Copies of this chain bind each other. A is one copy, B any other.
Amino acid sequence: MQFHHNGYVSADPRVQPAAGTGLDRLEQLPDEMDVLIVGAGPAGIITAAQLSAFPDVHTRIIDRRPGRLQIGQADGIQSRTVETFQAFGFAERITAEAYVITETAFWNPDPQDPGRIIRTDRTADDPTGVSEFPHLVVNQARVIDYFAEFAANSPARTAPDYGWELKELSVDQAGDYPVKAVLTGCGEDNAGIERVVRAKYAVGADGARSNVRRCIGAKLAGDKANHAWGVMDTLAVTDFPDVRTKCAIHSSAGSILLIPREGGQLFRLYVDLGEVPADDGGRIRQTPLEEIIRRAQAILKPYTLEVKDVAWHSVYEVGHRLADRFDDVPLEQAGTREPRVFIAGDACHTHSAKAGQGMNVSMQDGFNLAWKLGYVLSGRAPQSLLRTYSAERTVIARDLIDFDKQWSSMMAASPAELEGKEGVAEFYVRTAEFPAGFMTEYAPSELTAASAHQHLAAGFPIGKRFKSGQVMRLADANPRHLGHHHRADGRYRIYVFADEHPAGQSQKIADLSDWLLGSERSPIVRFTPAGADVDAVFDVKVVYQQDYAQMDINDAPKVFRPSVGKFGLTDYEKVYTTLGSPDIFDERQISRDGAIVIVRPDMYVANILPLDATDALASFFEPIMLQQHG
């Protein structure tokens, strides 16, 4: 955590100084704003949190709820999402209060006595060590709380405006604020009041029945039928021994997914209620709690389940549905005009709760979109950057739905149906990386280079998330996770892995530093706003191959020791060396001749280049950024 560089701050360093629109933010929803986010669920709140790091962008986020979400909805947090929380500064805190999944147990009918269940398998949750972060279970409400805290503590001081429902939304392409939104008050003080507000851009993060989606005319395609689950957050006395372990339970009486919850007592049961016929007419949603409990008791036999309290229950009825586009540009006009309205999260895609994806993918949608909006609105990037949102995220959503269909049908299948096929446990292990959130791989585009130089750092696949590794921070001899310095501050990261020469003797590293600081073509020179710190847009770090004890920090070239802040103090947190073990060069298969690894603000690897490829480096950023001066 870096602070005090503009002078001593006597307070929680997580509260950043207000700036820009955060200096005089109106309590009340104004008539005009840069971005209007509809919905303060996971997709909306992460969008607001990330945008709050852009002080010049005026963001408002409305929700028809009267206040914060209190209970219910999703609870599974993939380790990929915890990596994201790290960038927002709350990974440790939420982990400390969450349930940590380390294993999944599989229960099936006892072949000897099919009326009883027995444990047939037990698999590690992350057998391959795909992330250094754990897989968590914690209420969606707390996830939203933490993002809201981050937004409130960020320079723009963004906070939700509760009690406003979006009724209509339209775009006229003229004027400074082309998006027009009609809202109705539904809070305590504003009930029934109608407002028209205007924005430069709008984000529909308004859930599965998205009104924004309707207003922009996006089409939902997918299953005709829904699948229904009786969900209950339960406090109970039971002799089922795995009640604090994640379990997939198949019995002759039906199936249950059991998810232990935070706090040591609560657990969630998803009791399968089956496909919902098209003509059900909402009847399934009337399934009484008693019926869900009764089914759960039957499935768990011979174990007892004495339910003491149900904190929340619901019939979660959901189908596999996907919007044809995630913005307001009709497919036939794609590429001819820029989008003004976006949809994110459940507004774009819905699927079962089985693989624990909904909340996670929704947040990744928001994270992908928000920095792009921030760049365009603060004049860092051309408007065309915004096209990449729908292009990138529709593919991810489609993969997700395909995966979830397989997973759901596995989970729904009876033991007899699975006979002779791959078992649930095997499927689970084989595909573990997917539900953990690590299969996202953006195709080559102007944001993500083709893989010409992938071999220079094979362990950082271009288009996938930057997988952190441990290194030694030279200045204070602290072993650190390189990737954990990636904060959600909207900056690009440029990691320079040095060649074999020690610091002070590497001509390539010295030349690169000179070029980055001095060349007319350098992205730092071209795209950093006048008067801003040299690392305001590009955070450049170096990792040397030598032993830290043999290195003098003054031998690192200047781009890695920039003078920052109002006193021009040296930033000491950009110079690293390998640890003896693990050695990040070995772990991530980085060439001993060095490599440059470029990482997007949303943590995805954008490009890999040789140390001397300054032309390619310049060309890469040219189409996606705007010259700031000169």
Contact = CB atoms under 8 A, between A and B. Distances in A.
Interface of A: 1-5, 7-10, 12-14, 70-71, 92-93, 96-97, 99-100, 102-103, 122, 139, 141-142, 145, 233, 235-237, 239, 241, 243-245, 260-266, 308-309, 311-312, 475-479, 549, 552-554, 563, 565, 567-573
Given A1-B96, A4-B235, A92-B96, A569 B475 contact: no
A263 B552 contact: no
A266 B477 contact: no
A70 B141 CA distance: 33
A265 B561 CA distance: 12
Given A10-B70, A71-B8, A145-B12, A245 B477 contact: yes
Given A475-B244, A567-B235, A2 B102 contact: no
Given A8-B312, A13-B97, A3 B264 contact: yes
A476 B4 contact: no
Contact of A5 (B7, B93, B264, B553): B264
Contacts of A1: 96-97, 262-264
A554 B241 contact: yes
Given A93-B93, A97-B13, A264 B145 contact: no
B103 A262 contact: no
B263 A5 contact: yes
A532 B584 CA distance: 53
B70 A7 contact: no
8 contacts: A2-B264, A4-B235, A10-B141, A92-B96, A102-B478, A237-B567, A244-B475, A308-B568
A308 B12 CA distance: 23
A14 B309 CA distance: 22
B237 A569 contact: yes
A15 to B, nearest CB: 11
Nearest to A570: B237
Contacts of A570: 237
Contacts of A2: 263-265
Contacts of A568: 237, 308
A308 B13 contact: no
Contacts of A141: 10
A570 B238 CA distance: 8
A552 B312 CA distance: 29
